[in-house]
A and B are shown apart, each in its own frame.
Chain A
Amino acid sequence: MTDKKQDEFYIGWVGKTPPTFAALTKRFVLVLLPVIILLGVLLAVSQKKFGTGNFEFGTLTEVRGIYFDKPVPNLRVVTGFGLEGNNSFVTIPLIGYGKFGADGAISDIEKAKHAVLNGKWITLKGTLLYNDGKALMQVDIGDNPITNIADVTPHPMTVDSEQLGSITVKGEIIDPKCYFGVMKPGEGKPHEDCAIRCILGGMPPMLHVVDGSGRINYYFIVGHDGGKINNSIKNYIAGPVAITGKAIQYGDWVVLYTDGPQSITAISKSALWQPKGSIMACAAGGTPLKTPTCSVR
């Protein structure tokens, strides 16, 4: 009454699959698996381009310069000696191990060496991170970071600063460690939790600003007196914001002195777009001090 094919019946535990069941299953699997791999390829190539940041994980570098703890912990490294003490230098902001700022490591060093580092000429050993012509250094107490503290500073250097006035800038608040190379993406929604954790851990918050031509600028964000506002800006991290504050350029970095969260408004993604050449051009890319082209809108 029934033909043999119709009467085939599959029982998993028997361990023998009837031919028509086996044939269909095999054909299906042979098509399905390559299709899934192809979808994987499609997903892989469609990922947004990763940043060019670099974290020299596992490589320690010694850098000599003058340590300042304000506006954020940093090391000023002289790159050329000019006339009248008008030296050129790069500023290397310091950050800590894991999701922490450098403050802990610096205070540990100060305790161990019975010294105050601010304004001292020191040699620091740490892991470099760099992107967009900017460099930062991770200071980890486990790396024995301090190799020398000079008794005298041979070229006393005050912090040159240039008042850029009160400005409003639009961008995204990032944690510089991840952004400059530890994580990719080190910005935006997927990275938000981590940026929050880093900034709550004392990493100096930074505003990342891009204009229509892809020109990038960065602003360290601090309170009006230069103090930390890390804990009060949590809800603004990693999303588009506009920040108003008093901008001061210290050599190759700009610092925005704000009134904390009152100075920050969340804006829409579309409002973030800014026309070509609309942002301050001077400080990006490690351009030397006092570039005359600075313009702020």
Chain B
Amino acid sequence: MGAHYTAVGWNRQKKIYDWVIFAFCVTYLAVFITVTAFANPDYTFETALIRSTSTLAFLLLHVILSIGPLARINHKFLPLLYNRRHLGVTMFFVALVHGGFSILQFHALGNTNPFLSLFLSNTQYNSLPGFPFQALGFFALLILLLMAATSHDFWLHNLSPKMWKTLHMLVYLAYLLIIMHVMLGVIQYETSPVLVVLLALGAITIISLHLIAGMKEVKNDQVVYPNRKEGFVQVCHINDIEDSRAKMFCIGAERIAVFKTAGKLFAVSNVCKHQNGPLGEGKVVDGCITCPWHGYQYLPHNGQSPPPFKEQVSTYDVMVNEGYVWVNPIAYPEGTERPGALINLQVP
């Protein structure tokens, strides 16, 4: 089990996935440029390139931002989540072509360094309609660069998962910056409503998906557990948990996943050490609790990843009383071994 845990390589599926992304991007760019050339014979290739890459990157960003909530709403979308990183890196490179080419086109061959020119040409920072929109694009690109550069798990461990997660939450700031980049830029010039309408529809889609996914979570978090005894809280009946699976309970500030496996119950923190994935939606595979997001694994009885991995989650005491499951929400230090609770199958 430990062996294939390490084998996070470029499997066939990842290769297919990468080829699909690549072929799709090339198709999009070719179609955009061709349509521009036919609809608008006076076009210049530079503008078609700037616009085809900008719109592609922005559309891909919408997809990337939708995958998270989609996978929470329906876990059958998880394969998209697992492979989202490559989409992100691709999006960054497409945006880089747009930004890089824009800097060349609008700022190179002048009397000022192009990167300074980006900030010093239009200096109407105090005006909304006059605002230097390209600077907003630059900062968005910088965020995307940081995210792409730190996308490898090496950086996740190096920066600490918390820091990494915070950095990657900046994608929402990048999204906002790009919306303003478009609103204060090309929208000030275009006469067709298409871009504005699509911008609004895109934002509505992203916000709705996040709200729906968030509401699902909040509902679970708001369940009240009235039966308490000697530090233990009654959470469900043993039959409510399927074999090799878990149920998640939010008690106070603790998110606890109770797994049923090998005739026993084990309680561990619901929060995966990788990227805070919901372990309670995972499954026990080959004796290991397996995170549904990227497949990190933990042993049920001590919350430790099998060697050589070093991740550890907190564990909790759990007991069975008259067919009901009781959990003590006071966490043991991460990786502490707990006996779990035997399930007496002859309960009423």
Contacts and interface: CB of A to CB of B under 8 A. Distances in A.
Interface in A141-198: 183-185, 188-194, 196-198
A97 B105 CA distance: 14
Interface string B5-42: 10111011100000010001001100110011001101
Interface stretch (B109-117, B143-151, B298-306): B109-117
Contacts of B290: 9, 11
A47 interface: yes
Contact of B295 (A14, A20, A190, A194): A14
Nearest to A40: B32
Contact of B55 (A40, A45, A192): A40
Interface string A27-43: 01100110011011111
Interface string A196-221: 11101100000000000000000000
A197 B106 contact: yes
B3 to A, nearest CB: 11
Interface in B102-146: 105-112, 117-118, 121-124, 130, 132-134
A201 B78 contact: no
Interface of chain A: mostly helix, strand, loop or mixed: helix
A201 B112 CA distance: 9
Given A14-B4, A47-B36, A193 B117 contact: yes
A235 interface: yes
B130 A194 contact: no
Contacts of B188: 188-190
Interface stretch (B192-200, B224-232, B264-272, B314-322): B192-200
Contact-residue size bin, chain B (C-beta under 8 Å from the other chain):
35 or more
B107 A189 contact: no
Interface in B49-74: 51-52, 55-56, 59, 63, 74
A105 to B, nearest CB: 14
B59 A184 contact: no
Interface in A1-47: 1-2, 7, 9-17, 20-22, 24-25, 28-29, 32-33, 36-37, 39-47
13 contacts: A7-B242, A9-B285, A12-B78, A17-B13, A41-B31, A42-B194, A43-B51, A43-B55, A44-B39, A196-B121, A197-B111, A197-B117, A201-B111
Interface of A: 1-2, 7, 9-17, 20-22, 24-25, 28-29, 32-33, 36-37, 39-53, 97-100, 183-185, 188-194, 196-198, 200-201, 234-235, 239
